Amino acid sequence: MVELDDEIAAVWESVVNGDAEWLANRVLTFELTKETVLRELKKTPRTRREKAFQTILKNRTFHGGILAEGSGLLKYGENGKGIRSRWYPGTLAKRLLNLNYIASKMDFRCEDGLRVMEEMADDPRAAYFIDPPYTAGGKKAGRRLYKHCDLDHERLFAVCKTLKGDFLMTYDNAEEVKSMARCHRFQMRLIPMTNTHHATMEELVVGKDLSWMDGFPAVHEPEAEYVTRKRKKKGPHKKKNRQR
């Protein structure tokens, strides 16, 4: 797993380094109120696991779970529950403890994903799930959601072309993305998804061979756009005199 955001990386590093149980216990014993959350987030974390807990707290109590600059605490939340609307301590603790069972099999890196992909490109056994920030085509969603939102999308597609292994990449349904996918001869499918406002949208999936997705009725290919050119009408052909 590769993640560039230091706060998110702290969570996965804590899990991999054996602090999943500590995090689970911290979640279960934390008395969540607006005051306790603000007090906790004002602290300067002394260890990676303390930073990891702050990240989990932000993700569960900030609007949409957004960690980027400008995000803040939920005001109304789901069903008017405010900051408690997405705080399920039992469920969160269980997830952390379940991750603890496979922590020894995980390799986590706080690095640039593109660099790691280039490093692994020649390995045909490697498979990749790629979820870049949605900033292609001037989209603003990625800039609002992520700290590290600047990405050379053309370079990402070029790197994907060099991968010996298979990959699955999710993207916003943007024309610029579809154009890059066609240019590199990748396949595309549209799948339904629900955003933070519970509205149904379509997300673009890109890969080398996505025929396995065709069995799902909600999945379909993007409509291809064709440019038609008007042909100029030509006058009647003049027959040339032929000499025998």
Q: What average pLDDT does the segment 190-199 reach?
A: 73
* Token pair for 109: 């890196």
* Structure tokens belonging to residue 100: 């603890």
pLDDT at 108: 95
Q: Are 204 and 171 in contact, with CB atoms under 8 Å apart?
A: yes
Rounded Cα distance between 16 and 10, Å, is 10
| Number of neighbours of residue 149 by Cβ within 10 angstroms | 16
Counting residues of the chain whose pLDDT is more than 90, the rounded percentage is 57
Query: Is the model's pLDDT at 85 over the cut of 50?
Result: yes
pLDDT at 232 exceeding the cut of 70: no
**How do beta strands 128-130 and 167-172 pair?**
parallel
Confidence (pLDDT) at 149: 60
Confidence of residue 141 (pLDDT cuts 50, 70, 90): low
Residue type, 47: T
